[in-house]
Amino acid sequence: MPEKNPAFADIYGVAAALIADKHDAPRRSAVVQARDDYVTVFARTTQVSDYNPRHCLLSDVEPSCRLDKPGMYTTRHKHSIARTHFGDRNKCDFYGTLGTASSEKLLDYWETQLGLR
């Protein structure tokens, strides 16, 4: 059950009450680390005018995860969310899991941000 057990590259719609969103809508977010007590995610934005390859990862359209517009992940939008919110569709609604190519790009980006690459 991915809703209650977030894993790397899972996409969730995180409620605006947990991650502020100027549209007051769920923010599409990719799981990069799941721990016992909290989950670290990169929230995705479709506003790519501030793209900087050192701090951002471009994200393609991926309809299977409800990513219907090109966008990007950025270190500016890294958030830690209490694991207890996962499993509550009103707070963290499971949208899908990124495909292999997107997952590999996300892993490379995450490890680069951690200083592992």
Domains and CATH numbers, the chain: 10-114 (2.30.30.110)
Determine the pLDDT at residue 2: 65
| Residue 1's pLDDT band (cuts 50, 70, 90) | low
| Residue 107's pLDDT band (cuts 50, 70, 90) | very high
Q: What digits encode the pLDDT tens for the residues 17-75? A: 998 877 788 999 999 999 999 999 999 999 999 899 888 999 999 999 999 999 999 98
What residues pair up with 6 in beta bridges, in sequence order? Answer: none
Residues whose CB falls within 8 Å of the CB of residue 65, separated by 6 or more in sequence, listed in order:
11, 28, 95, 96, 97, 98
Cβ atoms of 2 and 97 within 8 Å: the answer is yes
Q: Over 90: is that where the pLDDT of 90 sits? A: yes
